Structure 1
Amino acid sequence: MDMVLFTLGDVPVTLSYAIAAAVALTALLLVILLVNSIRSGRQRAEEATLAINRSQEMEKHLADMMRIQNEMTGRMQTMSEIFGSRTSDLARLVNERLDSTSQRMGQAMAETRTKTEESLSKLHERLAVIDRAQSTITELSGEIVSLQSILSNKQQRGAFGQGRMEAIIADGLASNGYAFQTTLSNGSRPDCVIYMPNDAPRLVIDAKFPLESWQRLKAAANDDEAKLAKAQFKTDITTHVRAISDKYLIAGETQDTAFMFVPSESIFADLHEQFEDLVQRAIRHRVVIVSPSLLMLSIQVIQALLRDVRMREQAHLIQKEVRDLLTDVGRLDERVRKLQTHFQQANNDIGDILVSTGKVTRRGEKIDALELDEATPRLAGE
Structure 2
Amino acid sequence: MLNFSIIFLLILLVLLMAGLIYLFFKNSANKDSDDKLLVLFEKISELSRQNDSLRQELDRKLSETNRVSQESMSKSAQMVQGITGQSAKLISQITEKLTKLDETNKQVIGFSEQLNNLEKVLTNQKKRGNLGEAGLKLVLENILPPTAYKLQYPFEDGGIVDAVIITKDGLIPVDAKFSLDNYNRIVNEDNSDRKLVLEKEFRNDLKKRIDETSKYIKVKEGTMNFALMFIPAEAIYYDLLINEVGAVKVNTRSLIDYAYNERKVIIVSPTTFAAYLQTILQGLRAMQIEEGAKNIRKNVESLGRHLLSYEDFMKKLGGSMSTSVNHYNSAYKEFKKIDKDIARIGDGKSEVEVLEIDRPGVE
Q: If the length of structure 2 is used for normalisation, what is the TM-score?
A: 0.44
More helix by share: 1
**Higher RCO structure (Cα 8 Å, ≥6 apart):** 2
Larger radius of gyration: 1
